[in-house]
Structure 1
Amino acid sequence: MALDVESRPSGSPYIERVWRSRSTDVDQMLSIAAATWDLVFWEHRGRVSAAIQGPEPWARPAPVPEEAAFFGITFSPGTSMPHVPFTGLVAGAAEIPGVTRRSFWLKGSTWCVPDYGNAEEFAGRLVREGILERDPVVARVLRGESTQLSARTVQRRFLRATGLTRDAIRQIDRARHAAILLQEGMAVPDVVHRLGFFDQPHLARALSRYIGRTATQLRDPDPPEPLSLLYKT
């Protein structure tokens, strides 16, 4: 049982990560919380499909088509397609019509299907056509920089550009970081101290909500079902 995943970071400010995977003898994975959204293409039994997969505010089981190949672009927080509002996308997805191995339909035009090597070029074309944009306020706040805007204005910008509040993104990212540290062998008390959790029960609740695994389960070399993509930002 496996979900073989290959991924790489991106130098584009619009893209956080590019990934591809293949499922083998697996029909379900644990989709962990993510503050980002993905454009995903997959082929299963000769049929090609595509969807915009929205942010995941909590961990949950997700079906996986067996013997399928996937390719995805994970866009950075603050990057959005204004014609596809996040209403209905958080913990959800929007199917893309007219998909073939070579092309798909997006905002009234036919586009060539991107691949693992040209995702940045594809995103650049979307930006030039006004389909993809990035809110600089979100990016600055996530870097810890001042914006001189009111808290209400910042919150509104986050909701429009990410579908999530700033605090929700912070909690998701912290839980994902904790999961990585635990998988790397860091002791639980050290993770609590390093990432600013109140105590071990606080960490345990965060892992349960956002990762769907306990600290002990994260160290299991042979888990009952694979996790979705977990990576260092």
Structure 2
Amino acid sequence: MALHIEDRPSDSPHIARVWRSHSSGVDRMTSVATSHWELVVWTHRGATHAAVRGPETAASTAEVPDDSESFGVSFAHGVSMPHLPVPLLVDRQLDSPHVGGGAFVLRGERWPLPTFDDAEEFVARLVREGVLACDPLVAEALDGGTPPTSRRTLQRRVAAATGLTPSAIRQIERARQAALLLGEGAAPLDVVHRLGYYDQPHLSRSLRRFIGRTATQLRRADPAQPLSLLYKTRT
């Protein structure tokens, strides 16, 4: 009984992460909060599906089809689809209206289904065709830079490109990092100091909201309800 997840970074400035998974004997998982939107493709009982999944602002329980294969491209902050603004996708999933013959429909057009190995080429084509756009100011700001613009303008552009406020993004990413540290055996008080939480109750509230686990539960994995993809990021 397991949910096997493999992921990798990408050299594309438009991609945050590429991942794939296989489920066996698991019927649900805890989907942790994420500040990135993604394109997901999955196969179950011979049928293939595709969807665009928006940022998730809180942890939730998600069903996992048994013996299914999934693949996803998580997009970098600042990358968006002009025809489908990210704010409309927050805490939502929009399925492709048609998937078949090795292709799916996006923006009313058929596109070949991407794979774990050719995600960069697929995304590069979406950029060339104008399906994807990127606001470099957003990426710079969220990477700790100081773009030459007012704070209000910056907040507006971050919200337009990510569907979230800069503060919400920082909170989600910090909770994800805290979950990783605790899962590696770090003491809660050490995590509080390392990541800038006020105190342990502050850390606990953040974990419950964004990860759906307590510190103790994170240090003791639950194979019956595994967590969705977590990977190291800067906070």
TM-score band w.r.t. shorter chain: over 0.9
Shift of 1:142: 1.0
2: CA distance between counterparts of 1:101 and 1:211? 37
Q: Which moved more, 1:146-155 or 1:124-133?
A: 146-155
- 1:54-82, Cα deviation, whole Å (9 max, x unpaired): 00001011111111111111111111111
**What is the aligned partner in structure 1 of residue 71 from structure 2?**
71
Q: 5 Å matches for 1:27-66? A: 27-66=27-66
**What is the aligned partner in structure 2 of residue 106 from structure 1?**
106
2: CA distance between counterparts of 1:224 and 1:99? 31
Q: Which moved more, 1:13-22 or 1:146-155?
A: 146-155
2: CA distance between counterparts of 1:87 and 1:211? 21
Shift of 1:151: 1.7
2: CA distance between counterparts of 1:85 and 1:213? 31
**How large is the Cα RMSD of the aligned pairs?**
1.1
TM-score by length of 1: 0.97
Q: 5 Å matches for 1:164-175? A: 164-175=164-175
Q: 5 Å matches for 1:1-233? A: 1-100=1-100, 102-233=102-233
Task: Determine helix, strand or coil for the equivalent of 1:70.
Answer: strand
| Equivalent AA in structure 2 for residue 131 of structure 1 | V
Shift of 1:221: 3.4
Question: How much identity, in percent, do the aligned residues show?
Answer: 57
2: CA distance between counterparts of 1:135 and 1:106? 21
The answer to whether the 8 Å contact 2:26/2:224 transfers is no
The answer to whether the 8 Å contact 1:22/1:68 transfers is yes
- 1:94-140, Cα deviation, whole Å (9 max, x unpaired): 11122125111122321111111110000100011111111111111
1: CA distance between counterparts of 2:70 and 2:165? 29
Q: How many residues align?
A: 233
The answer to whether the 8 Å contact 1:54/1:86 transfers is yes
| Equivalent AA in structure 1 for residue 60 of structure 2 | R
Unaligned runs of 5+ in 1: none
2: CA distance between counterparts of 1:187 and 1:210? 19
2: CA distance between counterparts of 1:38 and 1:116? 13
Shift of 1:192: 0.5
The answer to whether the 8 Å contact 1:58/1:209 transfers is yes
Task: Determine helix, strand or coil for the equivalent of 1:193.
Answer: helix
2: CA distance between counterparts of 1:106 and 1:59? 27
- 1:172-222, Cα deviation, whole Å (9 max, x unpaired): 000000111111111111110110000010000000000000111001134
TM-score by length of 2: 0.96
| Equivalent AA in structure 2 for residue 175 of structure 1 | A
Task: Determine helix, strand or coil for the equivalent of 1:167.
Answer: helix
| Equivalent AA in structure 2 for residue 110 of structure 1 | R
The answer to whether the 8 Å contact 2:2/2:223 transfers is no
Unaligned runs of 5+ in 2: none
Runs of 4+ in structure 1 off by over 2 angstroms are 221-224
| Equivalent AA in structure 1 for residue 121 of structure 2 | E
